[in-house]
């Protein structure tokens, strides 16, 4: 009995102490070739893109944080070019219920999938690539203060018009405030923002899940005109999911977005490594549209191959998606992740 007790005590491992600091590192290398069919403007029909994207995060206890995310971009599109982009680099500090941060960072306040009306600090949303499939979105240089207490979060942000890339076209200095809470299952935000030299922006957004399969989201915003976004997602037990959005950004413009996707095509060897998605973006005003297809095949834990295709249609040169100067664009590539 005593021997058994002694063995038991010996087998007792102490719980590991809390680390003083923690780091995370990731590296992604992507190479993609793209081909345009029926190009309507002079230029190369094919190109190649090489992306080397390291990211690093460091946290010291619950007080200090630092994050950096870079993208080395090598492009061959007729001519060869290379550049280094800083997607995010910021320092964060926490005291009590307050989080502070300063630096270049990506914030997303909009709840829309393909469009946003309230994402005043978000990177520009591209409805034909809402997931930013190449991870090339860049943040804005900003300082933020966030107070979190119970269910409530209040964020204040000041974003420059571009400290490093001097005054990017169309970008203005922004001061923004957001109040976020979860109330009766509604994840709700109220947003007020002011861009230098423009009228004040006010907006609100929400997401809510109903039952096991339905998610509904919406955004409402007003500046010079009113904008409305309503959307939803339906998930089936098989893993098939569909997203729908209707977006009216004002001035009579209206858009619709529909995406159907299935990750892990079937739960069978040789099938579960495949993800497929098809999306349609339509400008309901000029009736132009663009069809987007994505297929991904994972090969183990580090390597994946993918293909992406988009086919615009609409009145040539006289509609939004008819302005796109090709009949189809097909890209295929691979990604290595460490």
Residues 12-31 that bind another protein (CB under 8 A): 12-18, 24, 26
Calculated CA dihedral for residues 109, 113, 116, 119, nearest 10 degrees: 20
Which one of 173-181, 250-258, 278-286, 316-324 is the stretch in contact with another protein (CB under 8 A)?
Answer: 173-181
Q: Which of residues 278-297 bind another protein (CB under 8 A)?
A: none
The residue range among 88-96, 191-199, 253-261, 316-324 that interacts with another protein, by the rule CB under 8 A, is 88-96
Nearest residue (CB) to another protein, 136 versus 228: 136
Region 227-256 residues binding another protein, contact defined as CB under 8 A: 233, 235-237, 239, 241
Q: Which is nearer to another protein, 88 or 195 (CB)?
A: 88
- Report the nearest approach of another protein to the CB of residue 338 (Å): 6
Residue 274 Cβ, how far from another protein at the closest point, in Å? Answer: 13
DSSP notation for 90-145:
EEEEEETTEEEEEEEE-------SS--SS-SSSPPP-TTSTT-TT-----EEEEEE
Least separation, in Å, of the C-beta of 261 and another protein?
11
The one segment of 38-46, 98-106, 190-198, 287-295 that binds another protein by CB under 8 A: 98-106
Nearer to another protein (CB atom), residue 264 or residue 287: 264
Distance set, CA 6 to CA 11, 14, 59 (Å): 9, 16, 39
Task: State which residue, 221 or 324, has the beta carbon closest to another protein.
Answer: 221
Residue 141 gets the label, from left (phi > 0), alpha (psi -120 to 50) or beta, of beta
**Out of 174, 189, 283, 331, the residue judged to bind another protein by CB under 8 A:** 189
Residue 59 — φ and ψ, nearest 5°?
-135, 130
Task: Decide if residue 107 touches another protein (CB under 8 A).
Answer: yes
DSSP string of 267-295, one letter each residue: SSTTTTTEEEEEEEEEETTTTEEEEEEEE
Please check whether residue 191 is in contact with residue 181, taking contact to mean a CB–CB distance below 8 angstroms: no
Which residue, among 296, 295, 293, has the nearest Cα to 278 in the 3D structure? 293
User: If binding means CB under 8 A, how many residues of this protein chain bind another protein?
Assistant: 79
Per CB under 8 A, the segment of 11-19, 168-176, 283-291, 305-313 that binds another protein is 11-19
- What distance in Å separates the CA atoms of residue 9 and residue 12, rounded to the nearest whole number? 5
Length of the chain: 338
């Amino acid at each position: 009995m005593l021997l058994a007790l002694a063995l038991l005590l010996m087998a007792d491992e102490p719980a590991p102490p809390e680390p003083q600091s923690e780091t995370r590192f990731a590296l992604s290398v992507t190479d993609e070739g793209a081909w345009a069919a029926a190009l309507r403007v002079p230029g190369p029909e094919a190109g190649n893109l090489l992306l080397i994207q390291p990211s690093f995060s460091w946290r010291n206890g619950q007080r200090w944080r630092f994050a950096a995310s870079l993208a080395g971009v090598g492009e061959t599109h007729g001519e060869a070019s290379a550049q280094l982009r800083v997607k995010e680099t910021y320092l964060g500090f926490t005291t009590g219920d307050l989080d502070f941060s300063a630096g270049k960072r990506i914030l997303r306040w909009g709840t829309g999938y393909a469009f946003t009306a309230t994402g005043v600090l978000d990177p520009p949303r591209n409805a034909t690539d809402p997931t930013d499939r190449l991870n090339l979105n860049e943040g804005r240089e900003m300082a933020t203060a966030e107070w979190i207490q119970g269910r409530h979060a209040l964020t204040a942000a000041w974003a420059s018009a571009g400290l490093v890339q001097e005054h990017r076209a169309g970008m203005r200095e922004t001061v923004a405030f957001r109040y976020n809470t979860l109330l009766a299952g509604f994840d709700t935000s109220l947003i007020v923002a002011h861009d230098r030299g423009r009228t004040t922006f006010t907006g609100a957004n929400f997401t809510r899940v109903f039952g096991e399969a339905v998610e509904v989201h919406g955004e409402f915003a007003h500046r010079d005109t009113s904008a409305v976004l309503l959307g939803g997602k339906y998930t089936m037990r098989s893993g098939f999911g569909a997203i729908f959005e209707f977006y009216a950004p004002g001035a009579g413009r209206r858009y619709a977005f529909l995406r159907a996707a299935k990750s892990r095509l079937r739960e069978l060897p040789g099938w579960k490594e495949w993800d497929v998605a098809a999306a349609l973006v339509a400008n309901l005003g000029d009736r132009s549209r663009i069809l987007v297809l994505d297929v991904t095949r994972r090969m183990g834990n580090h390597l994946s191959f993918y293909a992406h295709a988009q086919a615009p249609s609409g009145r040539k040169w006289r509609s939004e998606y008819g302005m796109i100067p090709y009949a189809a664009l097909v890209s295929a590539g691979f990604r290595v992740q460490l």
